[in-house]
Structure 1
Amino acid sequence: MRQPTPSSFRRCLSGSLIAIVVGSFSILIAAEPDASAPNPEHVSFFESRIRPVLVQHCYECHSDQTDDVAGSLWLDSAGGMKDGGDSGPAIVPGDVDGSLLISAIRYESSEMPPSGRLPDPVIEDFEKWIRDGAVDPRSSADLPGRRLAPSGIDLEEGRKFWAFQPVRSSTIPVMQADQKPADSWIDAFLNDALSHAGIIANEDASIDAQLRRLSFDLTGLPPSEDLIESWRSDPSERHWMKIVDELLASSEFAEHWARHEMDVARYADSNGADFNATHHDAWRYRDYLVRSIARDVPIDETIRQQIAGDLLPFATPEQQYDQLVATTFLMIGTKMLSERNKTKLIMDVVDEQIDTVGRAFMALTLGCARCHDHKFDPVATEDYYALAGIFRSTRSLEGESQRYVSTWRPTPLPASPDLIAAHAAYDAKTKELQQAIKKQKSELESLQAPQPALEGVVIDDREAVQDGQWTESTYMPGFIGEGYVHDNNRDKGERSIQFQTALPAPGDSDSAGGAATKIESAMPTWEVRLWYSPGTTRAANIPATIQIGEQTHELTIDQRQSGNKVTFLVLGRWKADYGSELRLRISNHNTTGYVVVDALQIVQLDESQDDQAAGPDSDRVARIDSIRQQRQAAFKNEIKRLEDELTAHKKIAPERLPHAMAVADLPASQCRDCEVHIRGEINNLGEPVPRGFLRVCGNGSSVIQADPSSGPLSQSSGRLELADWLTDPDHPLTARVSVNRIWMHLMGEGIVRTVDNFGSRGERPAHPELLDALAIELIRSGWSRKQLIRQIVLTNAYRRSSQDNPDAASIDPENRLLWRAHRRRLTAESIRDAMLVVSGTLDRSPRYDTMRSYGVLVSNNNADSKANKVVTLADPKRTIYLPIIRGEIPTLLSTLDAADPDLLVGKRPTTNVPAQAFALIGSDEVRHWAKLTAQRLVNEVPAEQDRVEPVYRRVLQRFPQSADRDLVNAWMNSPAASEMDEITRWQYWIAAMFAGTEFRFLD
């Protein structure tokens, strides 16, 4: 039988099988949600990466700030960019090389800005912006000659906008007589709107569709076959509530909803950008989110922990651990770590943190106010820099002032006493072995270094009398004995060393291996040599006194010569009788530099040498060489033993001590207010603004007031006060934003569809009273995520069919009133995880220390980038536990609209790309999972005609209809399938099911 190859697999699925299924089953290509609206991620990218550069580098010559616009090109409006100037349009959306703006900033056609070429990462941002369609939220009508003069921010007028109004309670509409008893207060609001619009809502979806929707919405995984059987046998309200509670209590629920939070937190296991450094401890933040959601930690508390967890009190080490890890939220965004201008780097990080906090918790685009008052919302530049003072008083990076590449702060976390003790013992043993190896190697190198033969008397420094604390060393090669000593250039006048010996008689030798003296003379001449290591840091004025026989001489020794090994200096030649006493005292009194002493050598000269220049001895004694060779062999054996012991020791290393990518307040002396940066320029400073909050969000003071009990504000950043302000129940935005996101994940669309933008450029709420009622309920329940989710999924609205109704659609074509369920695609993670479940290969256990085996840099721009080897879709873990490497998201996941970790993503885009189905078909991993599913099916169900029902239950979580059976039979009897063995036939069919819209979408 023919076995499938990748090319034949795609070819067959693109031919015979598609021809069978595309018409009636809609398995590969179907109408998907329209995605014509601007992608919020692209809008955010423009606001954070493009607009600030235009303001800083282009507006001076190409905006209405100048009376003489260069080249008639206005770059301060969307229309001006596209209309262009004298040379034509500045940009062509989607065409990078055809855009004159790109050519100019590349310094190809012209050189813009003329003050200097923009950094490559900035140019790459512009290229990406144009490649993605050049989304520009600035008004196209905002063209030259039509612009109004800035009028300032009118806070009172701004507070009239719905989002800045206090959350208001509303009376629950009275249920109509014909409404079902199971309707909740949420249904009452929705049904009231439908009634006023004259729309009849859809009936419930099929019981299979309801369970599949609930399971994927709550856990991101398909329902088990046992759960399907149980639900089909008892589809009652009581049983539905029981299933809801079981799913909410599952670990899979916490993992799935943590992934939603990771989208907002722009989670990644690497930095990306210019220096794709490894986030070794980011996984702790991911697991913190999983733990918090599993325990139903109040949403307001998780917000406080993520902004100021390091400043919050704690009762247990576990609580302190979580609170420190939570602040990774502020750290995990992309940063230009190699930015040379550290002031700019700090302010760029501050801007990213302000933008993230604004959109994550208030759904406001605060980054727009960095360069000027917000164009659309009542947020002044002063409000922006009031927040900037808070985050600039927060330490986010190390190396902010001098290092070429900055990095984040590794903050120690609480650890168990046993782990701390294990590390102490491990580190002590490691250090002991390393020091022993270093010492043995140093001594071996000393033995291996060529040394002159030492005639006469040799006295090592260890035999001398030392006064004061001398430091032993073996750094310079060629030393005598076991090393040498130096004064460490300290304690001048308090350290001395004295050598003492008797001049040898003919035939005597010293204990250090000096050659025997055989010369006899009536009055012999002695040459006295001092061995030392020279260097430019040595002292040149070392005082010494030598007494030889009846003579005493005062000497000054100069050791300041160049050299790379121990040598000797002749102190002098004197006549003295055999047996006379010799004393040499060397001091560091008033010396400038290191004083180094190795050994003293005394050599008798014959008469022919009296007038010759001194030189090293020429011959070594044979016994010395023999001893040295024996010692070298012993050292080598000991070094190998120690290295083997160290290798074995490292294999039993304890779990590493925990650290977090946490923030901290700067020292009190550095916490201060931030000046307004005019046009966002770091070198164009205005007046400082007191640290504080957005004035439009309340009628009280927006300036942080110092707490008398904790000292003046200057001693802290203000993050704790910011966290308290955000989570105040009276805040107009925080609770609304939270419930709106939860509603979107369950209902397909937010009550405010622009979930990350509650400002004037966002959409208005479809059900404002319901939005506020949900916000009030969230606060009343203690900010419980699980309770709010439970209330929503118990509504009739949640369980409605997604079927179209022409009458209702004619009144409400966008389904704003929720007369039907929104048909929506599963997340990329759920699609992959579902295939793992169906194939029986999903490993449900968590993964810790995701990036442990990777060094500082996880990837770079080279073709052999490590990142290509970090992430493999064949990994059986849930997708949440796969590494997320910026710039290296697996193609299949990115094709299925996985979140871009460079950006905050409150709502993922749903692109209308039929190629997504073909990406699934072309995936080696999908083909593998389809084969494993086919093998399970064939092994468990012997008869081919009996396999249709189990394959549909496993893959699509429903029972097949007669039309489905006809499709399967048509494929199994086709010419292409007849050439395959039974496992391969089913593999092809299951792969087509995986690629189909019914598998990828929730009805």
Structure 2
Amino acid sequence: MRRTSSSLLVWMLLLSGVRLAAAEPATTPEAVDYNRHVRQILSNHCYACHGPDEAQRQAGLRLDQKEPALAELDSGSRAIVPGASGKSELVARVTADDESLLMPPPDVGERLSDEEVAILRKWIDQGAEWDEHWAYQPIERPGVPPVFGAEWPKTQIDHFILARLERDGLQPEPEADKTTLIRRLSFDLTGLPPTPKQIDALLADESADAYERLVDRLLASPRYGERMAQKWLDLARYADTNGYHIDNHRSMWLYRDWVIDAFNRNKPFDQFVVEQMAGDLLPGATLKQKIASGFHRNVMVNFEGGADPAEYLSKYIVDRVTTTATVFLGTTLACTECHDHKYDPFTQREFYQLYAYFHNVPEQGLDGRQTNPKPSLRVPTEKQTEQLDALATQAEAVKKEIAQALAKHGENVPSEPVAPQQAPREFFWVDDALPEGAAVAEKDKSSWPLVASPHPVLNGERSIELKTSELGQHVFTGARRPLLIGEGDTLVAHVWIDPADPPQEIMLQFNDGASWEHRAFWGGDEIEWGSAGSPSRLAMGVLPPVGRWLRLEVPAQAVGLEPGTVVDGWACTQFGGRAFWDKLGIVSRMPQGPDLSTNQAAWELAERGRAKPAVPSAVAEALKVAADKRSDEQTRTVRDHFVRRYYAKTRAVFAPLEAKLAELEDERAKVRDSFPETMVMQEMEQPRDTFVLVRGDFRTFGEKVEPGVPAILPPLPADAPPNRLGLARWLVDPSNPLVARVTVNRYWQQYFGTGLVKTSEDFGSQGERPSHPELLDWLAATFIDSGWNIKALQKQIVMSATYRQASHVDPEKLTRDPENRLLARGPRFRLDAELIRDAALAAGGLLDPRIGGPSVSPYQPPGLWEQVGFGGEFSSQKYEQSHGADLYRRGIYVYVKRAMPYPPLVTFDAPNREVCTERCECTNTPLQALVLLNDPGFVEAARGLAQRMMTEGGDTPEDRIALGFRLCTARTPTPQEMRVLLRIYERQRARFQGDAESAKKLTSIGESPVPEGLDTAELAAWTAIGNLLLNLDETITKG
């Protein structure tokens, strides 16, 4: 847990109930400002019954708007009489001694304080001037205020901060030392600690722009994108599972990687927003823009038994509305799903107008059984794209060889007209081997056992054995040279039935390329396929005699095979018993077998008879055209295919080239099949109608509504499309008063721990006012004017003297400003959960620097997922730990299972990503110290740190301790700290020298190898020191 000095603890206890005196004056101000002093009183005490929610409004009184608040009531009185608090019913009611008249009623809310009553009186007496809520007013760039301490500001930001400090009689802290600044900057901009080499470089650089060049280098680091993305993913509720009870796997890491890349490329924030809200709707949308639209596919998705799909479809849309409002508008809209907002000017109808924008995604409600509920995309990684490009280059080379061979062999191909033979002739398709190209059914891979003598053989050297206790069959399809059916043709097979074990029924089945509904059977009626008496189940008589070869004949047309069709698949089927099959074929006047490989016209006739083409689409389309009506290109297409694949005289020339081409295509198919999948947004062709859901009940429809935006905010442009793209562009229109304010406030919060508006998720009347409203507007206006340049905004902040202050706190400032809202000192707070783990891995020399890719699963206690799992039939129910380098990747890549997030991160307050998280709480619990001391990942990092101290830190214990301390805190230890650490080291070394088993056990934790030549007891002692250093409050704190 974090350590707090005794003196600081006393101050914290004494001041735990103290409000921010400088920001919220305890005395009534000389001039009362409605937004600064009055609105919050009315919001806290009055709006629940006299605010925007018409359904809950009492006595016809509305106090959130000027006109109704000043209007005459039914009683003849007025709640507010400007200039006359004594005549104002509001003052009379909030000061009444009679509880039946007192407002708010005692059973509803607390009585107003004397200070609040005094503010209301003075405001009314001063004329009850009314202002629109500050957050909804247009953004106007204020002037930079003058200050007395003109030497302190480094940027214009500092003028706003210093002007407030001077007004309140406070002075800023001096600039922090270089070591503190580089550590603070490195964590803020990259999420990682600086290396000793980087620290030394800054300490040695005396140039005036040394700090700025450091800022620029960190902003240009690829680690910057990872750091910024970590925060954004909390907002985007990114996770690797679908959530709810079953919480199975989903693949969305392509979206996560898009966010990282967008920050690294410094994508302008307005584009960043538009692509995530509606990237799929942009004209000519790229794959990356479609991936970006996954922002609103990060919702949880259910498929539990008994759940109503309509209910959950509505839940997903509600989540999108509330997330949009939180992330971009800093507004809490959840309550308006059921009723008008009680405190802010948003109606239930407006909620469903926003809902309508998201009501057109083709989801089904209970899609969670799928790994990636549709709509989704498969997108190649950069490596896969390179693989495909290389394979395509090889394929082009082979195609060039084929073209050269065609030029040489493609002419003079026989193509005489096909005429039926005068007399029928037999052609046996299966005799000692299956037809060329025939594919055995997957379930029948071990079938078609061709057996030789002494088993019965009718012709050649082998026959086909089929032995089964119940239903059994041998099946193949896709013969390259099919049987071409002519008028009066007969299909033939020969069978030898075992006298000792005869089947109850035998059956022949024929495939026309599309269907197996062509059957003839002999014997019993055990195989219930097809319709009796039809070509799908033609009875041929009793079971043939046993113990000898018999010829079975099936008229082709009797089983539905009309002249001109082809048979490219055959099945020998029986129920029970043992039989041998041989010489399967046809008696026909049509060309068969070899004819199809020597005469192009014969081959074309067979191909046209297939129910499903067995040739490429271009060839199939050309074959539909009569030979004498084809274009030159169609003629060449058909001829080339015949020459390459079928013509007997040239097949041998093309076979190796075709095989190589097929091999390359198979490899390309494997690469394509391995493309990662990601969920994206998509519009339905026919939009759904949207209705107000009465009391938020998905079953009760009220008024029908169209897409629209809240009336309190600027209207949509006249030409805005009524879809998500129109909404996205409206959000980032410079006239929108919220998006820029909310965004700059979020970044301020990231750097200082608290935003200029503390309630960063709520800019409404229940949220806090900005501590520095003019600075907020100046930053917002500057942000818009910069072209929404995120890096420029962040550079402005970190270059300021405000940011660069030392974080030392003296008693006076702690008393006056315990939360540092006035910013009279630098920021100091605990690192985010992911950064604590990343810093430990970096200090231990274990951190894997790879960017992007699938999520990883580091060490965690066994059985946790199983405790919340649903069973083996679903994914992500059993934890599968990663190995190798994946164990040491940054926290942003750690697998997020919503029902059971990674324990070390949750212990340090990482959200579970079930919903949008604007602010993470920062707790202080004993469990956090236990994680740092005992979690295998942190113990292994401590061992890595120990190895670095031993191999990089020199020969003396002092030098080694100095390196380890510096790797963790960036500074060198004080003499007192050095003495303490040396004593601990000596004790630990003595302990482990006397307990070799414990030393070996400690140094064996984790998969990373121990370098050869290190003494085990010595390594264990230094591991204990590393463990201590990683557990220091200073190590896990940004100061």
**TM bucket, shorter chain:** 0.5 to 0.7
SS at match of 1:293: helix
Q: 1:414 to 1:880 in 2, by over 3 A?
A: closer
Equivalent in 658, 662, 666 of residue 680 of structure 2 = 662
| Residue 805 of structure 1: aligned partner | 810
Q: Shift of the alpha carbon at 1:985?
A: 2.7
Answer yes or no: is the 8 Å Cα contact 2:471–2:527 preserved in 1: no
| Residue 691 of structure 2: aligned partner | 675
Answer yes or no: is the 8 Å Cα contact 1:530–1:598 preserved in 2: no
Q: 1:719 to 1:434 in 2, by over 3 A?
A: farther
* Distance across 1 between alignment mates of 2:699 and 2:939: 57
| Residue 1022 of structure 2: aligned partner | 986
Q: 1:836 to 1:412 in 2, by over 3 A?
A: closer
Q: 1:384 to 1:455 in 2, by over 3 A?
A: same
Q: Report Cα offsets for 1:914-943 as digits up to 9, x if no partner.
A: 431232112222222212211221233112
Q: Shift of the alpha carbon at 1:806?
A: 2.3
Q: Does 1:696 align with 2:712?
A: yes
Counterpart of 1:834, as a letter, is: A
Q: Report Cα offsets for 1:119-141 as digits up to 9, x if no partner.
A: xxxxxxxxxxxxxxxxxxxxx98
Q: 1:159 to 1:288 in 2, by over 3 A?
A: farther
Greater alpha carbon shift after TM alignment, 886-895 vs 241-250: 886-895
| Residue 343 of structure 1: aligned partner | 310
Q: Shift of the alpha carbon at 1:166?
A: 1.0
| Residue 907 of structure 2: aligned partner | 895
Answer yes or no: is the 8 Å Cα contact 2:248–2:369 preserved in 1: no
Q: Does 1:296 align with 2:332?
A: no
Q: How does 1:159-558 map to 2 (within 5 A)?
A: 160-176=132-148, 178-180=149-151, 183-234=154-205, 236-280=207-251, 282-314=252-284, 320-338=286-304, 340-395=307-362, 397-398=363-364, 407-413=373-379, 438-439=440-441, 442=444, 445=447, 498-499=489-490, 531=522, 538-542=530-534
| Residue 78 of structure 2: aligned partner | none
Q: Shift of the alpha carbon at 1:234?
A: 2.8
| Residue 930 of structure 1: aligned partner | 942
Q: Report Cα offsets for 1:952-972 as digits up to 9, x if no partner.
A: 222210022222122223324
Answer yes or no: is the 8 Å Cα contact 2:833–2:909 preserved in 1: yes
* Distance across 2 between alignment mates of 1:805 and 1:868: 49
Q: Shift of the alpha carbon at 1:718?
A: 0.9
* Distance across 2 between alignment mates of 1:597 and 1:322: 44
* Distance across 2 between alignment mates of 1:950 and 1:534: 83
Q: 1:405 to 1:895 in 2, by over 3 A?
A: closer
Q: Shift of the alpha carbon at 1:425?
A: 13
Counterpart of 2:880, as a letter, is: K
Q: Does 1:727 align with 2:726?
A: no
| Residue 861 of structure 1: aligned partner | 869
Identical pairs, percent: 28
* Distance across 1 between alignment mates of 2:871 and 2:554: 69
Q: Shift of the alpha carbon at 1:443?
A: 8.2
Q: How does 1:604-623 map to 2 (within 5 A)?
A: none
Q: 1:229 to 1:598 in 2, by over 3 A?
A: closer
* Distance across 2 between alignment mates of 1:589 and 1:405: 42
Q: 1:142 to 1:342 in 2, by over 3 A?
A: farther
Q: 1:342 to 1:483 in 2, by over 3 A?
A: closer
Q: Does 1:998 align with 2:1034?
A: yes
* Distance across 2 between alignment mates of 1:358 and 1:735: 13
Q: Report Cα offsets for 1:280-339 as digits up to 9, x if no partner.
A: 2x111111111111110001111000010001124xxxx712211111110012222336
Q: Shift of the alpha carbon at 1:584?
A: 6.3
Q: 1:23 to 1:796 in 2, by over 3 A?
A: closer
Q: How does 1:731-880 map to 2 (within 5 A)?
A: 731-850=736-855, 861=869, 866-870=877-881, 875-880=887-892
Q: 1:585 to 1:755 in 2, by over 3 A?
A: closer
Answer yes or no: is the 8 Å Cα contact 2:189–2:218 preserved in 1: yes
| Residue 947 of structure 1: aligned partner | 960
Equivalent in 968, 971, 974 of residue 981 of structure 2 = 968
Answer yes or no: is the 8 Å Cα contact 1:531–1:598 preserved in 2: no
| Residue 525 of structure 1: aligned partner | none
Q: How many residues align?
A: 743
Answer yes or no: is the 8 Å Cα contact 2:898–2:914 preserved in 1: yes
Q: 1:404 to 1:958 in 2, by over 3 A?
A: closer
RMSD (Å) for aligned C-alpha atoms: 5.3
Q: Shift of the alpha carbon at 1:225?
A: 0.7
| Residue 408 of structure 2: aligned partner | none
* Distance across 1 between alignment mates of 2:218 and 2:713: 37
Q: Report Cα offsets for 1:726-769 as digits up to 9, x if no partner.
A: 01011011001110111111122100111111122211110010
| Residue 87 of structure 1: aligned partner | none
Answer yes or no: is the 8 Å Cα contact 1:741–1:755 preserved in 2: yes
Structure 1 length normalisation: TM-score?
0.64
Q: Report Cα offsets for 1:885-922 as digits up to 9, x if no partner.
A: 22232222111112221121222110122431232112
Answer yes or no: is the 8 Å Cα contact 1:33–1:910 preserved in 2: no
Answer yes or no: is the 8 Å Cα contact 2:490–2:555 preserved in 1: yes
Unaligned runs of 5+ in 1: 1-13, 38-63, 66-139, 148-156, 458-473, 486-493, 502-509, 516-528, 544-556, 561-567, 574-581, 602-614, 625-641, 708-712
SS at match of 1:735: helix
| Residue 650 of structure 2: aligned partner | none
Q: 1:569 to 1:597 in 2, by over 3 A?
A: farther
Q: Report Cα offsets for 1:773-824 as digits up to 9, x if no partner.
A: 0001111111011001111111110011111122333333332110012320
* Distance across 1 between alignment mates of 2:828 and 2:569: 86
* Distance across 1 between alignment mates of 2:221 and 2:173: 31
Q: 1:34 to 1:852 in 2, by over 3 A?
A: same
Answer yes or no: is the 8 Å Cα contact 1:263–1:904 preserved in 2: yes
Answer yes or no: is the 8 Å Cα contact 1:871–1:883 preserved in 2: no
Q: Shift of the alpha carbon at 1:182?
A: 5.2
Q: Report Cα offsets for 1:422-465 as digits up to 9, x if no partner.
A: 899999xxxx999966349748546599xxx99999xxxxxxxx
* Distance across 2 between alignment mates of 1:480 and 1:920: 63
Answer yes or no: is the 8 Å Cα contact 1:211–1:228 preserved in 2: yes
Q: 1:174 to 1:541 in 2, by over 3 A?
A: same
SS at match of 1:908: coil
* Distance across 2 between alignment mates of 1:679 and 1:435: 64
Q: Shift of the alpha carbon at 1:842?
A: 1.1
Counterpart of 1:918, as a letter, is: L
Higher relative contact order, structure no. (Cα contacts within 8 Å, ≥ 6 residues apart): 1
* Distance across 1 between alignment mates of 2:670 and 2:748: 47
Q: Shift of the alpha carbon at 1:514?
A: 9.7
Q: 1:435 to 1:674 in 2, by over 3 A?
A: farther
Counterpart of 1:993, as a letter, is: L
Equivalent in 688, 691, 701 of residue 685 of structure 1 = 701
* Distance across 1 between alignment mates of 2:678 and 2:805: 44
Q: 1:300 to 1:586 in 2, by over 3 A?
A: closer
Q: 1:825 to 1:237 in 2, by over 3 A?
A: farther
Q: Shift of the alpha carbon at 1:498?
A: 4.5
* Distance across 1 between alignment mates of 2:707 and 2:302: 26
